[in-house]
Structure 1
Amino acid sequence: MGVSGCGKSTIGKLLAQELDIPFFDGDDFHPESNIQKMSNGQALNDADRQGWLETLNDLAKQQLAKNSCVIVCSALKQKYRDTLSLNINAETNWVYLSGSFNQIFDRLNSREGHFMPSELLISQFETLEDPKDALKIDITLTPENIIRTIKSGLMNTSEFGLFGLGVMGKSLCRNLANNGFKISMFNRHVAGVEVDVAKNFKAEYSELSHAKAFDDIAAFVNSLQQPRRIMLMVNAGKTIDYVIEDLLPYLSENDIIIDGGNSNYKKTKERNTYLKTKGIHFIGTGVSGGEEGALKGPSIMPSGDKEAYKNVAQFLETISAKDKNGLPCCTYVGPEGSGQFIKMVHNGVEYVEMQLLAEVATILESLGQNPDDIANTLDSWKATANSYLLEITATIFRKKEGDDWLVNKILDKAGNKGTGNWTTIASAELGVPSTLIASALFSRYISFYKEERVQLNKNFENSNTSELNVTTNDILEAYQFARIINHYQGFKLISEASNKFEWHLNLSEIARIWTNGCIIRSTLMEDLVAVFKHTTNILTNPELINKVNNYKSSAKKVVSECILNDVTTPALAEAIQFLNGITTKYASANIIQAQRDYFGAHTYQRLDDDSGKSYHSNWN
């Protein structure tokens, strides 16, 4: 690209010959009306150029389907370049041939047979917007040196960089490489602890043969095409900030940092604001799927600068899982830290789904089922309540070590990495009753008090008679009931956050990208894609209303039997309590408000006065 007369055609032809790919001169695709206008000494306007630019964009797409090509075009404005690279941004490299007005004016005057007179050159310089993401080359260099500069600047650089080679980072690298992307990989060097991690990782997998491995930050950053695309897969928290500060000295304006860890959405917003002052784009991205998902296709939830996302969309959407229609389970979620927020809620919903399956297994065990029996029962539920977590739980119960099942040998302490805690805190801050997520979180906390549980078990009688009067179908329906309530609460939290922060999140699209690749993928989630096209509240959907009504009696029966027999089912029980609360027309909160007014003069409103006026009473 560059103004007319800068040498685009000459350099473009030489480069195409050097790379053995087709060459196209944009001037050859002007409609006759444009050529006539310029021949009459009139400058083209944006309307004149639009169709021409779209034609060149179609040409580029056609060539990319075969291999690649070199196209020369003035592309003076950023919006022209946006049109030219529409939907192929990540596969487009810009070379800007730069020179002074006098240099190029002299060249134009010496050129014969071209339809544009040199007098129009001034209008091109006035129109020209210097590109921020192009390889800029001085036209005073010889053509040979220009070609050499282009090849070293573009052809030997990587398209995408990944910083941090933990379990997820390694899997994402292999995923990117398997999809044909040229990548650079970085892992820190810690003497005696982490040495040659990237180099050794590259040697381990054949698909990484063309990847570049680094333990030096400067070399890693300089190996990337501009604008640089760097995805961070490091521990959330201060580590992210330290890494950003380490990278900044080597970055250029308009480079893009993607945080793919489980960062707190508030910190993502702060980092986004901070990096804007440095001219760097920041994209907070939720990634779900675990090690296998990261390798074969995760669910990806990017947010932040929408224009910057266009520059990384092809990479993230290509490596993501695909839904049942073949669309990527990756979509631009919204501004600020919204992607990290919905990943946080995803993990909260995940906590509950795991807790519900653990409770179900406990009930089945109380009915006398051994782990193989439990696995068989869960397998039989796949026809009506299938999910990834249901599948892996059935597999877990079949695993044996020696003569016993492995699950029986695992210490009953459940860990957590903080996202369930964050979700519970966010719910409290937003005033949203995500009671199931809190229950699942606190169940994990209770499990961690193993020694105290053993001690207190001796002090209190447990009637656990294992005489539960329930069937496996009762348990299935109770499980389905609680899962609907869990998904109601999770999406309610997302909806309330979207309203408060003005994120304008699309709940149907969020559900869609959670139908494959992620840990909470399920047939229920697939149903919610259509439900959320008509409502933001799944408990207003007629089909789900019928299911909840039909399943509730089984849920009450199962929970009641468990309480009578001292079988612990906090999440199943909370699902019933929550539905009772959210569907109670006149709640007991009037008593609480009266109490508050009594001891603290907090006032109250009256049912017989709809003006909103506050009242205070002398209660003595």
Structure 2
Amino acid sequence: MEENKTNVIFIMGVSGCGKSTIGHMLSEVLKIPFFDGDDFHPKKNVRKLSNGIPLTDDDRYNWLVFINKFAKEQLQKNSCVIVCSALKKAYRTILNTDIHSQAKWIHLVGSFEQISERLNKRENHFMPPSLLRSQFDILENPQEALEVNVSLSPTEIVDYILKEINNKSEFGLFGLGVMGKSLCRNLANNGFKISMFNRHVDGVEEDVAKNFKADYSELSQAKAYDDISAFVNSLQQPRRIMLMVNAGKTIDYVIEDLLPYLSENDIIIDGGNSNYKKTKERNEYLKTKGIHFIGTGVSGGEEGALKGPSIMPSGDKDAYDKVAPFLETIAAKDKNGLPCCTYVGPEGSGQFIKMVHNGVEYVEMQLLAEISTILEKFGQNPDQIANTLEAWKDTANSYLLEITIDIFRKKEGNDWLVNKILDKAGNKGTGNWTTIASAELGVPSTLIASALFSRYISFYKEERIQLNKNFDKVNTSEFNVTTQEVLEAYQLARIINHYQGFKLIAEASNKFEWNLNLSEIARIWTNGCIIRSTLMEELVEIFKQTANILTDSLLIKTINNYKSAGKKVVAQCVLNDISTSALSEAIQFLNGITTAYTSANIIQAQRDYFGAHTYQRLDDPSGKSHHTNWN
């Protein structure tokens, strides 16, 4: 049993399987209290069973609730062993309520003939052997339990249980990069018994897990491996293994490496930035192997992974329930103390919303970069820019705003470090995927595309230097805007960015029938993740009323108040040759999405002219397609 962590060991199975015998023996060895669930049956249940009448679910409900309450009280003091038939999944769900992470399940199994023979020899028990068949009929074999065959002797059963409980880890982490290491420390700091794996490459990656364990005291109880077989065998079944390796083919290679050592109902969690389509494919493939697959977005960077990230899991709901105690415990907590981790939906929906999260993140970063360029135009140095941004925290605070303030204040020698950084922005592909997904779904995520292409433009450094010499630039001191107007333009663009991001999620949810909860997604993005902000906190409540934030009365008022400043800032930037692609696109998109009658009629006429693509008419409500011979 883990040090400093209390657990309840539930021993379950049909009557006559030996639960009480094993429970007594186990409690004596572990020196923890033993309780028999049968002792908590109300008198009416005992009377029914004594009269040979099977209990109904209604009969069992209060009994199970009482045992759960009793277990929670015991866990405040010590670990304990409780034996209870708990034959149905619904029964075990009640018993697990609020103690899932502290509950360990042992299932004693045997054939009807084996158990019947035992039951017939048992004396002075209120349940007659004639009811055994009814118990086998309702038995739903648990996937989360350690299964032990009753053909073993009681001593052998107890020895096997002790070996599993004491020597096997609860959770495995595969891949010890920056994020993997931080998640390991997070799990260990929360009292979980973990196994850690990192590959061995001669002369390149040697004893990574072992050395990592030695560096941190909280990992003293963790197990370190560079052999896959030993790593997998160190885990309790069903095994829970989280992959923190590079997205792409590496994930597939790792899965194939693991498969020979896995058992049915084991669970693989992909915690990398995988493409949601690949997650769906892997999910379907692993189903054929009897293995569960959970695609999980994780946001927060190195610090978030250590102190509490935002976690976005998707896939099989039953499989998620078995890893939920781990993920929800290590996740960041929102303002109400709830974990910033929730079951998102089926297939690759968790990876999809993480992809969109990163797209929104691209825009938020681009907007701050553009704002900083404008503030430089005012003549502000990095310290002064930091002070301006600091003043905005009361109305526009976000994690990205906070770190940008720190960036502008950082000095190296007598100069600010930001002035020494090469202006070529990298990317890892998620902004590209988001843009592609937007095009595939027909959603105008124009700000995400703009932010992505701005990074691409930045990479053409040598060409930019050359072209800068070829074209005249306006160089005037006239810049007729205020910092308040810049703030309002920034706030307006951020609202449009979040509208587009959540619009993409909503359209994907409808297209793929994911039934995603936008308010819950916004909630788990209020802490731990890179795009957490006061605006995101406001969206949690707004999405409870509408899926379209541009129909919210408060945001409508805000946009109407800020639009004048937004247009003025963008216009001044255009006149002064200052590149503000994201700020400009926010205004252009707002103009487009709020225009009742656009110029698309001309495009449709052009399409009909050269390609006979037809068009619909405003004066024909039937929706009939028309074609004209234009020449």
CA 1:52/1:367 → structure 2, altered by over 3 Å: closer, same or farther? Answer: same
SS in 2 for 1:312: helix
Counterpart among 570, 582, 596 of residue 571 in structure 1: 582
Counterpart among 260, 283, 288 of residue 299 in structure 2: 288
RMSD after superposition: 1.4
Q: Tell me what 1:432 maps to.
A: 443
Percent of counterpart pairs with the same letter?
79
Q: Tell me what 1:252 maps to.
A: 263
Does 1:221 pair with 2:232?
yes
What does 1:73-472 correspond to in 2, within 5 Å? 73-472=84-483
Deviation at residue 95 of structure 1 after TM alignment = 1.6
TM-score (norm 2): 0.96
Deviation at residue 119 of structure 1 after TM alignment = 3.0
Structure 2 Cα separation of the partners of residues 465 and 100 of structure 1:
89
Deviation at residue 299 of structure 1 after TM alignment = 0.7
SS in 2 for 1:93: strand
Does 1:61 pair with 2:72?
yes
SS in 1 for 2:76: helix
State which drifts further: 372-381 or 82-91.
82-91
TM-score (norm 1): 0.98
Deviation at residue 156 of structure 1 after TM alignment = 1.6
Q: Tell me what 2:35 maps to.
A: 24
What does 1:470-481 correspond to in 2, within 5 Å? 470-481=481-492
Structure 1 Cα separation of the partners of residues 314 and 147 of structure 2:
30
| Counterpart code for 1:157 | K
Q: Tell me what 2:3 maps to.
A: none
Counterpart among 33, 45, 65 of residue 56 in structure 2: 45
Contact kept, 8 Å, 1:132 with 1:253, in 2: the verdict is: no
CA 1:240/1:405 → structure 2, altered by over 3 Å: closer, same or farther? Answer: same
CA 1:585/1:101 → structure 2, altered by over 3 Å: closer, same or farther? Answer: closer
Structure 2 Cα separation of the partners of residues 475 and 131 of structure 1:
59
Contact kept, 8 Å, 1:605 with 1:615, in 2: the verdict is: yes
Q: Tell me what 1:524 maps to.
A: 535
Deviations 1:419-442 (A, max 9, x none): 000000001011110101000000
| Counterpart code for 2:47 | Q
Deviations 1:125-167 (A, max 9, x none): 3443443433232334332222111100222211111111000
Q: Tell me what 2:9 maps to.
A: none
Contact kept, 8 Å, 2:295 with 2:348, in 1: the verdict is: yes
Contact kept, 8 Å, 2:144 with 2:322, in 1: the verdict is: no
Q: Tell me what 1:582 maps to.
A: 593
Deviation at residue 290 of structure 1 after TM alignment = 0.5
Structure 2 Cα separation of the partners of residues 610 and 362 of structure 1:
50
Deviation at residue 323 of structure 1 after TM alignment = 0.8
State which drifts further: 311-320 or 3-12.
3-12
Contact kept, 8 Å, 1:89 with 1:310, in 2: the verdict is: no
Deviations 1:520-546 (A, max 9, x none): 111111111111111111111111111
Structure 2 Cα separation of the partners of residues 447 and 566 of structure 1:
16
Contact kept, 8 Å, 1:184 with 1:224, in 2: the verdict is: yes
Deviation at residue 71 of structure 1 after TM alignment = 0.8
State which drifts further: 49-58 or 490-499.
49-58
| Counterpart code for 1:554 | A
| Counterpart code for 2:403 | I
- Report the count of equivalent residues: 620
| Counterpart code for 2:201 | V
Structure 1 Cα separation of the partners of residues 110 and 603 of structure 2:
76
CA 1:280/1:86 → structure 2, altered by over 3 Å: closer, same or farther? Answer: farther
Structure 2 Cα separation of the partners of residues 556 and 123 of structure 1:
74
SS in 1 for 2:289: coil
Q: Tell me what 2:557 maps to.
A: 546
Structure 1 Cα separation of the partners of residues 507 and 163 of structure 2:
50
Deviations 1:9-30 (A, max 9, x none): 1110111121122211011011
Structure 1 Cα separation of the partners of residues 554 and 346 of structure 2:
33
CA 1:37/1:375 → structure 2, altered by over 3 Å: closer, same or farther? Answer: same
Structure 1 Cα separation of the partners of residues 22 and 269 of structure 2:
34
SS in 2 for 1:96: strand
| Counterpart code for 1:473 | Q
CA 1:406/1:41 → structure 2, altered by over 3 Å: closer, same or farther? Answer: same
| Counterpart code for 2:605 | A
Structure 2 Cα separation of the partners of residues 541 and 2 of structure 1:
54
Q: Tell me what 2:6 maps to.
A: none
Contact kept, 8 Å, 2:367 with 2:583, in 1: the verdict is: yes
State which drifts further: 407-416 or 4-13.
4-13
Deviations 1:562-612 (A, max 9, x none): 111111111111111000011111100111111111111111111111110
Structure 2 Cα separation of the partners of residues 466 and 226 of structure 1:
69
Structure 1 Cα separation of the partners of residues 587 and 559 of structure 2:
10
Deviations 1:183-210 (A, max 9, x none): 1111111111110100000000000000
| Counterpart code for 1:569 | T
Structure 2 Cα separation of the partners of residues 27 and 186 of structure 1:
43
Deviation at residue 66 of structure 1 after TM alignment = 3.1
Unaligned stretches of 5+ in structure 2? 1-11
Structure 2 Cα separation of the partners of residues 94 and 114 of structure 1:
24
Contact kept, 8 Å, 1:466 with 1:565, in 2: the verdict is: no
Deviations 1:226-259 (A, max 9, x none): 1111111111111111111111111111111111
Contact kept, 8 Å, 2:107 with 2:147, in 1: the verdict is: yes
Structure 1 Cα separation of the partners of residues 192 and 608 of structure 2:
65
CA 1:306/1:128 → structure 2, altered by over 3 Å: closer, same or farther? Answer: closer
SS in 1 for 2:380: coil
| Counterpart code for 2:533 | S
Structure 1 Cα separation of the partners of residues 395 and 139 of structure 2:
61
| Counterpart code for 1:219 | A
CA 1:20/1:423 → structure 2, altered by over 3 Å: closer, same or farther? Answer: same
Structure 1 Cα separation of the partners of residues 403 and 196 of structure 2:
31
Structure 2 Cα separation of the partners of residues 493 and 116 of structure 1:
58
Unaligned stretches of 5+ in structure 1? none
| Counterpart code for 2:96 | S
Structure 2 Cα separation of the partners of residues 121 and 343 of structure 1:
49
CA 1:188/1:433 → structure 2, altered by over 3 Å: closer, same or farther? Answer: same
